[in-house]
């Protein structure tokens, strides 16, 4: 069971309710009134727990699991251990997510401001919003209803935060408009001046960064990530985009809807990612480029040119991923050939 120090379980739920939540078909033979108390991973789940199988790496764990019920794809049903109630779904991960969310619903907030929060009298705070200890809310800030502002977070003058958004502890927001239902995690910095300056024999001269950061609805930004404000245009994070920890987004970057940026990736200034682009871990995209809709950038790739829609690329400098894999094969062959000569 999830550690009660940190989580509060809301069960039990019957198999019938669980199947409905998971949009899954309950395999015949299972008792729809049987009740379950929790979710758990395959290897630690017991008879009162619901688990899931999404990745074939864990097929062995599935075969030997003691989970009482499991959300599973139709192709894996045949591997189920005896006695396990099967919730069959073509989207087992999504199904499991819905079940887990029912077992662990969001905790109610402590509406209001902690007495140690520092809120400028000109700030407007919506009802149901909780402001943590030590949080600093600047002049003319607007925070919607049902938000959570973490302890010691700093929201600078003029920032707007939409309904239901959570701002993590020690995060810093300036020069930005943040949409509804966003999750901005701890330590995130949004709205710093972009990295714009003239440097030559005359010296270094900063170029004023006069844009903002627009974070659309339902965006998640992972811990300690940084998003610079625009130089003149805005930096824009499209609705539903998921940004992991320690990601860097330069000034004027525009992300489309539901982009995914995995940890330690970086997007240089003025580059545009269209909708549904996936940037894997530690990948980087140079400035002033366009990455087309649905393109996928492999981990550690270094993108130096525009990427057409739908293309998967890899390597540094990046090339179509199929070519990169072929290149890796060529290298292996060259190594083998040379190995023989060395013998």
* Closer of 163 and 286 to a second copy (Cβ): 286
Angle at the Cα of 112 (from 121 to 104), degrees rounded to 5?
A: 145
Are 258 and 241 in contact by the 8 Å Cβ rule? The answer is yes
Are 95 and 24 in contact by the 8 Å Cβ rule? The answer is yes
Say how far residue 270 (Cα) sits from the centre of its chain. 22
**Main-chain phi, psi angles of 119, to 5 degrees:** -115, 120
Closest CA to 148 of 177, 117, 194, 103: 117
* Closer of 86 and 100 to a second copy (Cβ): 100
* Closer of 51 and 129 to a second copy (Cβ): 51
Cis peptide before 317 (omega within 30 of 0): yes
* Closer of 163 and 186 to a second copy (Cβ): 186
> How far apart (Å, rounded) are the C-alpha atoms in residues 194 and 230?
6
- 79 is an active site residue: no
Angle at the Cα of 87 (from 82 to 91), degrees rounded to 5?
A: 130
Q: How far is the CB of 230 from a second copy (least distance, A)?
A: 9
Q: How far is the CB of 29 from a second copy (least distance, A)?
A: 26
* Closer of 95 and 292 to a second copy (Cβ): 95
Q: How far is the CB of 112 from a second copy (least distance, A)?
A: 15
Q: How far is the CB of 171 from a second copy (least distance, A)?
A: 8
Q: How far is the CB of 320 from a second copy (least distance, A)?
A: 10
* Closer of 85 and 251 to a second copy (Cβ): 251
Q: How far is the CB of 7 from a second copy (least distance, A)?
A: 6
Q: How far is the CB of 62 from a second copy (least distance, A)?
A: 14
Are 279 and 260 in contact by the 8 Å Cβ rule? The answer is yes
* Active-site hit among 76, 175, 251, 276: 251
* Closer of 28 and 161 to a second copy (Cβ): 161
CB-count exposure of residue 87 (10 Å: 0-12, 13-18, 19+): buried
Active-site residue list: 251
């Amino acid at each position: 069971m999830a550690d009660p120090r940190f989580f509060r379980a809301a069960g039990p739920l019957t198999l019938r309710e669980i199947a409905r939540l998971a949009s899954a078909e309950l395999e015949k033979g299972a008792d729809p009134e049987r009740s379950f108390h929790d979710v758990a991973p395959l290897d630690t789940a017991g008879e009162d727990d619901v688990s899931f199988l999404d990745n074939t790496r864990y097929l062995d764990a599935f075969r030997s699991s003691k989970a009482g019920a499991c959300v599973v794809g139709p192709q894996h049903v045949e591997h189920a251990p005896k006695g396990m109630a099967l919730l069959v779904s073509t989207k087992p991960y999504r199904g499991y997510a819905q079940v887990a969310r029912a077992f662990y619903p969001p905790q109610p907030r402590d509406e209001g401001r902690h007495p140690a929060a520092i809120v400028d009298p000109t700030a407007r705070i919506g009802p149901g919003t909780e402001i943590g200890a030590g949080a600093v809310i600047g002049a003319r800030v607007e925070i919607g209803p049902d938000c959570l502002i973490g302890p010691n977070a700093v929201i600078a003058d003029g920032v707007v935060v939409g309904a239901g958004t959570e701002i993590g502890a020690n995060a810093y927001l300036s020069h930005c408009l943040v949409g509804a239902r966003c999750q901005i995690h701890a330590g995130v910095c949004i709205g710093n001046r972009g990295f714009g300056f003239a440097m030559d024999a005359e010296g270094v001269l900063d170029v004023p960064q006069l844009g903002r950061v627009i974070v659309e609805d339902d965006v998640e930004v992972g811990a300690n990530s940084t998003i610079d404000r625009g130089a003149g245009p805005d930096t824009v994070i499209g609705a539903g985009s998921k940004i992991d920890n320690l990601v860097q987004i330069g000034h004027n970057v525009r992300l489309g809807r539901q982009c995914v940026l995995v940890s330690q990736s970086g997007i240089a200034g003025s580059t545009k990612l269209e909708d549904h682009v996936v940037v894997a871990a530690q990948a980087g995209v140079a400035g002033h480029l366009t990455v087309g809709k649905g393109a996928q950038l492999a981990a550690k790739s270094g993108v130096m040119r525009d990427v057409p829609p739908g293309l998967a690329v890899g390597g540094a400098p990046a090339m179509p991923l199929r070519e990169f894999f072929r290149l890796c094969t060529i290298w292996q062959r060259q190594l083998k050939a040379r190995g023989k000569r060395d013998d």
